[in-house]
Homo-oligomer: A and B are copies of this chain.
């Protein structure tokens, strides 16, 4: 009920000790009498005292805050991973600060703002910021970079994702089904990761003497998938569309069915990427290049732990994708 938060000095007076002893009562292994600690914790509980994390951070040089730089949290393709990571961080008593790039014009300013909070770690999922900028802004933090734009800085850890084998598997199947005219519906034109993903499929096509006949660019959203697919199918003779993520794939499938009356998998093949839960829903049942999100986030946490243990960097972990077979290709 009291509006004001009690401080360690005030609690010290109440418990008849010095504020240093209060601090010790809250530090797991420090020289303090058992009786004193118990008494202090009792008084603390009674008055609702908890050490001020801001003050503690200032003193420790350790904030226990983690910045997550993402495109958006509203898009299921990212949100699922984010949820897993947030869960893991919370379990380690780390608090996530989310920086949402998608609808923020000045992303550098946003990252600078977060960096003033002395975050202990930075995880970058967004392909909307350049790694150079990120490294520059978080130069005191050693950012953990996630599979975008590998930077040749030794202060950066890196998770590499390899989907080449699974992409080949999927392409082989579709080509064996008799399709020859492929199109790629990209997430964003400028994204490094998106170019890499496209290359997995392009290389697989090359083995069959094929190449993408058309390209389109969306923004990872259902609506962009829908709209671009319509345009794509009008201006090309594509009978197979590889999409930058699952949500766009669903949009493309709906567009083909609704606007052009072409149904997957009979009239054309649609392939997604990510392997989100929604891809397995009965109404979607998408064929997709899927990544094990739990393993992905485990890798992120692993890097955070190595960073904490101050192991010499830079570190790198590689994960491979698997094909999920649905009924759209």
Which A residues lie at the B interface, using CB under 8 A? Answer: 1-5, 48, 50-55, 57-58, 63, 65, 72-76, 79-80, 82-84, 86-87, 90-91, 93, 95-100, 102-104, 110, 112-118, 139-140, 222, 226, 250-251, 253-255, 257-258, 277-278, 281-284
Contact = CB atoms under 8 A, between A and B. Distances in A.
B100 A86 contact: yes
Contacts of A98: 86, 96, 98
Contact of A116 (B51, B58, B118, B226): B51
A90 B104 contact: yes
A114 B95 contact: yes
Given A1-B139, A86-B98, 8 more contacts: A3-B140, A5-B118, A48-B139, A52-B58, A58-B58, A72-B83, A222-B281, A283-B283
A87 B103 contact: yes
A84 B2 CA distance: 33
A5 B116 CA distance: 10
14 contacts: A3-B140, A4-B140, A53-B118, A54-B54, A54-B58, A73-B82, A74-B80, A74-B83, A86-B98, A86-B100, A87-B103, A90-B110, A91-B104, A96-B97
B74 A250 contact: no
Contacts of A79: 73-76, 79
